[in-house]
Amino acid sequence: MANDAHPVYEVLALRFGTHDDRPARDNFLVDEGQFTPGSDMPMDFYLWVIRNDRHFLLVDTGFPEEMAERRGRTLFRDPVDALTDLGMTADEVSDVVITHMHYDHAGNLDRFPHARIHLQEDELRFCTGPAMRHRVVRKPFEPININTAVQGLFEDQLVLHSGQSEIIPGVTVHPVPGHTPGTQVVQVPTARGWVVLASDATHLWANIRLRSPFPILDHLTPMLEGYDRIEALADGDDHIIPGHDPQVALRFPQLPGSPGWFCLHEPVLDGIDAARTAGAAR
Ligand SMILES: [Zn+2]
């Protein structure tokens, strides 16, 4: 439990974009009847902020309009510009955790010139290695982000982690391979207990709760074992924050005066079946 040994933090999600008109079938590796045939199940895009009066930690950087247009995604607003809602600019951010190097999580990496970039070693190895010769594997990656990471390595901006590591007091990253070899999740002490930003270790609540993985993955068995790991790190099912679930924006209260930002450190709102996502059959 989060307790007096740790400071506690606010955890915010920014919903900055969406991919609607998306068949539910595209969100599960195996069709086990977990969605209504022919139904849609959109995916939203998020980044996250962990903050208190002493620290400000950004988790992932979203992606810019150019990538959104090229990939057929809808951007509600520029996610980096949205940091000004919280009184921050990209120049002022000192630390960024990149959960993995896919375009929708590391897409604005070059816009944080003064930040330490926290990445798992296995992720850098993967996205700079021979796996990228496979078109399907490299499709969610963008060379500009990988180049920025490598440039950061040469300029002491990139901080490589090999396993669990504390980024700011009480806030730790944990490797959960499967989606990519170097995917990491973030465990945060909050007033309501341990919250885990699971990013794409589980895209949707349905993926982890039904043990039904998302189809973009590098390695199936570690992904399934990662679900157990995430549950062990969190203080309950509602403390696990999936990477792309539209319900996140429905289940948590909005940050007053800041549309698009949601308070994950506060209890979930009632009235929504946790195991469902839009269009889910059960
Ligand atoms: Zn993603």
Q: How far apart are CA 238 and CA 25, in angstroms?
A: 24
- Banded pLDDT at 280 (limits 50, 70, 90): very low
- Residue 34 pLDDT: 83
Other CB atoms within 10 Å distance of the CB of residue 263: 17
Average pLDDT over residues 33-49: 92
Q: How far is the CA of 200 from the centre of ligand 1 (A)?
A: 5
Where in the chain are the domains? 10-263
> Which residues are near ligand 1, the ion (C-beta closer than 5 Å)?
104, 200
Mean pLDDT of the chain: 93
How big is the chain by its Cα radius of gyration, in Å? 17
Provide the pLDDT for residue 278: 42
Hey, CA dihedral for 272, 74, 29, 183, is it positive or negative?
negative
- Ligand 1 center from residue 104 Cα (angstroms): 5
- Between the CA of 131 and the centroid of ligand 1 the distance, in Å, is 19
Confidence grade of residue 273 (pLDDT, cut at 50, 70, 90) = low
In angstroms, what is the span from residue 201 Cα to ligand 1's centroid?
9
Q: Indicate the pLDDT class of residue 141, thresholds 50, 70 and 90.
A: very high
What's the whole-model pTM score? 0.94
Residues 190-233 pLDDT 10s: 999 999 999 999 999 999 999 999 999 999 999 999 999 999 99
Please name the CATH architecture into which domain 10-263 falls: 4-Layer Sandwich (3.60)
The Cα 68–Cα 19 span in angstroms is: 10
Taking the alpha carbons at both ends of the chain, their separation in whole angstroms is 31
Q: Ligand 1 centre and the CA of 3: distance in Å?
A: 31
Kindly report, residue by residue over 149-189, the tens digit of the pLDDT.
999 999 999 999 999 999 999 999 999 999 999 999 999 99
- Determine the distance separating the centroid of ligand 1 and the alpha carbon of 46, expressed in angstroms: 9
pLDDT digits (tens, 9 = 90+) for 221-269: 999 999 999 999 999 999 999 999 999 999 999 999 999 999 999 999 8
CA of 167 to the centre of ligand 1 (A): 22
Ligand 1 centroid from CA 246, angstroms: 13
Answer with the residue of higher pLDDT: 270 or 74. 74
Q: How far is the CA of 78 from the centre of ligand 1 (A)?
A: 16
**62: CA distance to ligand 1 center in Å?**
9
Residue range 74-101: mean pLDDT, rounded: 98
In degrees and rounded to multiples of 5, residue 233 shows phi and psi of: -85, -20
Q: Say how many Å lie between the CA of residue 102 and the centre of ligand 1.
A: 7
Distance from the alpha carbon of residue 4 to the mean position of ligand 1, in angstroms: 34
